[in-house]
Structure 1
């Protein structure tokens, strides 16, 4: 990986490594079960691998298309390009493509499988609402995702969930769940469906935990790079508050992209919902930024 000046966080990195290790163990066990159950299960595994490759190499194009984003030139968005140019110089990293999505939902995301193939996209709603220093904090957060190759990490981590989900549907809709094997043993399809459902649930929880860790790591790296954690905190507070003014219809349309976003389009403070959320609670993110402010000798 190309090195940058974005600060690493050993605590959060350790948690991410542990979570990936657990996902890896789950994956090895699941593949062993699929191999034991026969060739049809391996066919679904191969299909999932194809989907992973497509997602890996085309994630930037897919995300931009889904969000109706368009790449913009320095002439079309000089202030946005200027902020990203400054951050690239500060972080010593290649400049990503710059895009704008025509949406009133105030948000931003970064995607791409490498620094040279990455794109940072902001919505028109975000550009209208944030001050320049707040926007710079959000952009630094997104570029930290690029520098740390978070898109690659989350793509690989989500692979197990894709396999398990496909296997569950395969067993359910092919009728395998009702049939028995040729020797009159227990229904192989039912076993596949039950094991796949359990694996999907476990991988979902682990992947969501990994997503929350990477958001905290990106907040910390952005705050330390810009040396203005209060600006990022202001952006978080403002974006979260503005979400309440966006029509629910628009928020639900954006909700599938929460894993990409700077802040979730829809969130809940309930404990179970927080466990399954792609982002840590706002209070947790603001508390971390306040701690960084104190470490830097600034007011929160």
Structure 2
């Protein structure tokens, strides 16, 4: 596992440098599209410097804030702290900060610039539908994103998408027109176009920076950490169903954070699936069940080929209500 961490670290370091370069290129492109005036060059340079600084030092806070999550104490979430502390100790790594997001859509993600400045966030929904064994599997997955050094790349990509999207909104608002029709001026119209075009581009950049292979790696490494691939398989089954029943409402903030989550938080249909940042859940479950078979010699398969985890509906969720 340590060898894999070193490889991941080198790859993600290169991706981080490329992302910063790409962010500067997009900001300068916007300056050029808006007239390339020397009067505004200083403003865009300040935006570039500020964006670089904020993306590196505050990317975790941006991701947490976009979800409306709050830091919880050990008194509020003793089971969550116990699981994270045990897994962190098993990995021989620092324990990240723990947050809970007040949404019933089940999900979780990790963020931060390194393992010493990391955070793991669970939604209220995931804490209500998973039992302790399944939650341990999810947290093992998220911790391996931290320890494989995935989180800086994903957090910067998320922050970059947010900065560029809101820059488009600012251009739209200040671009011209009267108070009732902010996008009527030529620069305002450009702002509208930039908002419409750059937000998907930002999402695509995240997809490029955070490959589907990253999720498979975290599934495998997290299952090795917990020693229980079936638990994560069961959790993914429940989360996938829960997202379909209760998807997140897309906002500028959570759209840029979506790629960091263990499962896509939105209801993806048709063409959208082609650009999903996450591999198909059924494929992930199949891999995990094969891994369980290799580790323990046990696996149960449904007639249709999708693994059926025997204990899906057994045991109680970790929390019956938010903040317990």
Q: Return the TM-score normalized by structure 1.
A: 0.72
Pairwise CA distance, 1:295: 4.1
1:298 and 2:305 equivalent? no
Pairwise CA distance, 1:64: 3.8
Query: 1:191-202 residue pairs with structure 2 within 5 A?
Result: none
8 Å CA contact 1:48–1:166 kept in 2: the answer is: no
1:244 and 2:263 equivalent? no
- The answer for unaligned runs of 5 or more in structure 2 is 177-183, 300-324
1:219 and 2:216 equivalent? no
**Whole-Å separation in 2 of the counterparts to 1:24 and 1:60:** 16
Range moving further from structure 2, 113-122 or 189-198: 189-198
Greater per-residue helix proportion: 1
Task: Report the equivalent of 1:112.
Answer: 112
Aligned residue for 2:82, secondary structure, equals: helix
CA gap 1:82/1:5 in 2 versus in 1, 3 angstroms = farther
Q: How many residues align?
A: 284
Aligned residue for 2:245, secondary structure, equals: coil
8 Å CA contact 1:8–1:221 kept in 2: the answer is: no
8 Å CA contact 2:175–2:191 kept in 1: the answer is: no
- The answer for unaligned runs of 5 or more in structure 1 is 180-186
Pairwise CA distance, 1:142: 1.2
8 Å CA contact 1:5–1:91 kept in 2: the answer is: no
Aligned residue for 2:249, secondary structure, equals: helix
Aligned residue for 2:116, secondary structure, equals: helix
**Whole-Å separation in 1 of the counterparts to 2:64 and 2:160:** 24
RMSD over aligned CA atoms reads 4.2
Aligned residue for 1:113, secondary structure, equals: strand
CA gap 1:9/1:287 in 2 versus in 1, 3 angstroms = farther
Q: Return the TM-score normalized by structure 2.
A: 0.67
8 Å CA contact 1:52–1:155 kept in 2: the answer is: no
